[in-house]
Structures are given as structure tokens and as C-alpha cells.
């Protein structure tokens, strides 16, 4: 990699975790956005999907002050707003960076019941070249790591972890070749009954394998962003950890596994509530900012959008209310990114 390319990628990555800013994950697949729209009784048409994304991207205060980048779906990066403006242009006009989801989803891992491996490497070089021409300057690939139920320690298997991390590394190398910053997302799911210590163990193992694979693939870490889960108990666990314990174990896990060369870590919300995701991020930044070599920020989907979607309800007259809800959540997370959020601020909508 030339010094010029490394500087270009590093500049983008640093901008993605600028003070008070994080990433809006608006890359829901057609199936996922249908589920979101079903919850408000709205048909998932192309126009409705465009109108919803457009109202988010036109929320000027949020986009300019708190959103550094937006992850888009293939349909969205090609769409135009109702007035004919490309949605990518709305994002860049606000000073935010367009990104693109490029994986093809998690598929059953052969001969490993209950485990998934993410696919999408075939033809990826050519797709990335096109996405760069369409305006994307970063990309995202999500690996899904489940944890066995009822104390089953056979899931995740070493083989499944290694396969997913190898795919992430191959994707990341192809991104950098095409002048695109890769977000590497190894998500340990919080759907099970495991406790926080089991989550720590699996998260640390996955991250160490990931950085082995990235090294072998000659990926420049200075031009990457990590998008992991927080170290947190499964939703069905009998023992739910406190915010302080989540913060301490997450930071400790990352300090043991994530190289200092990585510019930033942007968390996925992973099914946490809007306020819980904000509070946990804030606690980490408030308590541990002085010992972390990377910036900790957010890359939230539902935790930025749930209130906005409910406020909108698919009705044009509700757009201002939906934008206000989105702006509030963006501002709360922007404060949490700097360790400056307090619960009382949630009432200042």
C-alpha cells in the first residue's frame, strides 16, 4: 500500500469517529425494513423506503452535528430524493460520509448446525469499484457469531469463528484496494442465555482471530474501523450485568485484543434499547477515556431510529416529529461519545 493511499484511508477513518459524532446504520435489507414498516402498519414499497431514509438524511441538525457517516443498502445508494437529488448527495452536503453494506448475509455453515458464515466475496472487487464511483467511501461486512444455549460450549466452534474472520479479512483487503475504508463487524449475538463472562470469552477469542487474519491479509489497520458488540449478557440470562460492569469488561476485552493502530471502534446496539445503548457508551467514555488508544463511538440502527420510525408512522405530516426524535437520539449519542451524557438530558427532547 502506498503512503498516499494509507493517508487517504486513515483520514476517512478518523473522520468517522470525529468528536461528538458516530454512524447511522441505515442499511436494513429489504426484508428487515419490511419488518420495521410492519410494526407501524406501512407497506414496504420503494417509495416508502426512500421517503423514510430521506427524512433522516434531511434532518440537518443531526446530520451536520452528530452523524459522521451513513451505511446504505444497495437500493438506497442508487435512489434519488423526491425532488430528484441523489440521496448520496444529501449525505455529503451535510458533511457526512456515505458508506455501503456489501455482504450477502449469513448462511448456514455446512455441517455445523446452529452456526452461520457470511457470504458475498464473489464479485466483491467489481462491486466495490462501482460503489466507489457511486460515492461510497467506506463499507460494512457483518459476521454473526452465536453462543450456545444452556451452557453448550460447542457453539461457537473454532472453525466457524476462523471462517468468519477470514472472510472479514478478505473483504477488508479488497475494500482498501478500491480506496474504501472497511468496517469489520464481528457481532457476538446477545440473543441467548449466556452470562457476561461467556460473552467476554467469545468476543475476545473472535477479535484475536480477526486481527490475526487482518495481519495475514496485509490490511492496514490505520485505515479500518471495528464494529463490535459490547460485552454484555444474553437477553435470556438470569444475571443481567450493570452498566458499570458492561463498560469495564468491554474496555478490558478490547484492550486485550484490539491493536492501538485502529482509529476507532463503533458499537452496534445489538438489540439494546435506545437509552441503554447510549448509557453504556457514555459510561465507557466517561470512565475509561484516558486509557483507550482508540475512539469509542456508535454505529446504531434501531437505537437511533426506533423513536423516529414510530413518530413518523408513514405520514407526511409527521415528518417534523420524526426528525425531532432522530435528532434527539443523535444528540444523546453524540454526547455519550464524549462521556458527557446524563439521564436527565433524555427529558430535553
For residue 28, what are the contacts with CB-CB under 8 A and spacing of at least 6?
A: 36, 73, 301
Strands (E), 258-327: 264-267, 295-300
Distance, in Å, from the CA atom of 94 to the CA atom of 145, rounded to the nearest integer, reads 35
Q: What is the pLDDT along the chain (349 residues), one digit of tens a residue?
A: 999 999 999 999 999 999 999 999 999 999 999 999 999 999 999 999 999 999 999 999 999 999 999 999 999 999 999 999 999 999 999 999 999 999 999 999 999 999 999 999 999 999 999 999 999 999 999 999 999 999 999 999 999 999 999 999 999 999 999 999 999 999 999 999 999 999 999 999 999 999 999 999 999 999 999 999 999 999 999 999 999 999 999 999 999 999 999 999 999 998 899 999 999 999 999 999 999 999 999 999 999 999 999 999 999 999 999 999 999 999 999 999 999 999 999 987 6
Q: With contact defined as beta carbons under 8 Å apart, do 335 and 62 qualify? A: no
The number of residues making up the chain comes to 349
Taking CB atoms within 8 Å and a gap of at least 24, the contacts of 150-155 are 150/193, 155/114, 155/115
Report pTM: 0.97
pLDDT for position 127:
98
**Which of 101, 116, 140, 227 does the annotation list as catalytic?**
227
Domain ranges of the chain: 3-347
Q: What is the pLDDT of residue 348?
A: 75
Q: Is 101 a catalytic residue?
A: no
Buried b / exposed e along 2-15 (16+ C-beta atoms within 10 A): eeeeeebbbebbbb
The CB density around residue 279, as the number of other CB atoms within 10 Å, is 21
pLDDT of the residue at 94: 97
Q: Which of 67, 33, 98 is nearest to 266 (CA)?
A: 67
Handedness of CA 241, 246, 250, 253 (dihedral sign): negative
Choose among 150, 186, 180, 182: nearest CA to 165.
Answer: 186
21 catalytic residue (yes or no):
no
pLDDT for res 326: 98
Residues 145, 93 contacting (CB under 8 angstroms): no
Q: What is the CATH number of domain 3-347?
A: 3.20.20.70
- pLDDT, residue 287, reads 98
Which residue in the list 185, 204, 213, 222 is annotated as catalytic?
185
Amino acid at each position: 500500500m502506498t503512503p498516499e493511499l494509507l493517508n487517504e484511508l486513515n483520514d476517512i477513518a478518523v473522520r468517522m469517529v470525529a468528536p461528538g459524532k458516530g454512524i447511522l446504520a441505515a442499511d436494513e435489507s429489504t426484508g428487515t425494513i419490511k419488518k420495521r414498516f410492519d410494526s407501524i402498519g406501512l407497506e414496504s414499497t420503494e417509495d416508502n423506503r426512500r421517503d423514510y431514509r430521506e427524512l433522516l438524511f434531511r434532518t440537518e441538525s443531526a446530520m451536520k452535528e452528530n452523524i459522521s457517516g451513513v451505511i446504505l443498502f444497495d437500493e438506497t445508494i442508487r435512489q434519488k430524493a423526491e425532488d430528484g437529488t441523489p440521496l448520496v448527495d444529501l449525505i455529503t452536503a451535510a458533511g457526512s460520509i456515505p458508506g455501503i453494506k456489501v455482504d450477502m448475509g449469513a448462511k448456514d455453515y455446512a455441517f455445523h448446525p446452529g452456526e452461520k458464515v457470511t457470504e458475498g466475496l464473489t464479485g466483491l472487487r467489481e462491486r466495490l469499484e462501482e460503489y466507489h464511483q457511486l460515492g461510497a467511501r467506506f463499507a460494512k461486512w457483518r459476521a454473526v457469531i452465536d453462543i450456545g444455549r444452556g451452557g453448550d460450549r460447542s457453539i461457537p466452534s473454532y472453525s466457524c469463528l476462523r471462517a468468519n474472520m477470514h472472510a472479514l479479512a478478505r473483504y477488508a483487503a479488497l475494500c482498501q484496494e478500491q480506496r474504501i475504508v472497511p468496517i469489520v463487524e464481528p457481532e457476538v449475538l446477545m440473543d441467548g442465555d449466556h452470562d457476561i463472562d461467556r460473552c467476554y470469552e467469545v468476543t475476545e477469542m473472535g477479535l484475536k482471530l480477526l486481527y490475526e487474519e487482518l495481519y495475514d491479509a496485509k490490511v492496514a489497520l490505520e485505515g479500518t474501523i471495528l464494529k463490535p458488540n459490547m460485552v454484555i449478557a444474553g437477553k435470556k440470562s438470569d444475571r443481567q450485568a450493570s452498566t458499570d460492569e458492561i463498560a469495564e469488561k468491554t474496555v478490558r476485552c478490547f484492550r486485550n485484543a484490539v491493536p492501538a493502530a485502529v482509529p476507532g471502534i463503533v458499537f452496534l446496539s445489538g438489540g439494546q434499547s435506545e437509552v441503554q445503548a447510549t448509557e453504556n457508551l457514555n459510561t465507557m467514555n466517561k470512565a475509561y477515556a484516558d486509557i483507550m488508544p482508540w475512539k469509542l463511538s456508535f454505529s446504531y440502527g434501531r437505537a437511533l431510529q426506533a423513536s423516529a420510525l414510530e413518530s413518523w408512522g408513514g405520514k407526511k405530516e409527521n415528518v417534523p416529529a420524526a426528525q425531532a426524535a432522530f435528532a434527539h437520539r443523535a444528540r444523546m449519542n453524540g454526547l455519550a461519545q464524549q462521556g458527557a451524557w446524563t439521564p436527565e438530558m433524555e427529558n430535553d427532547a
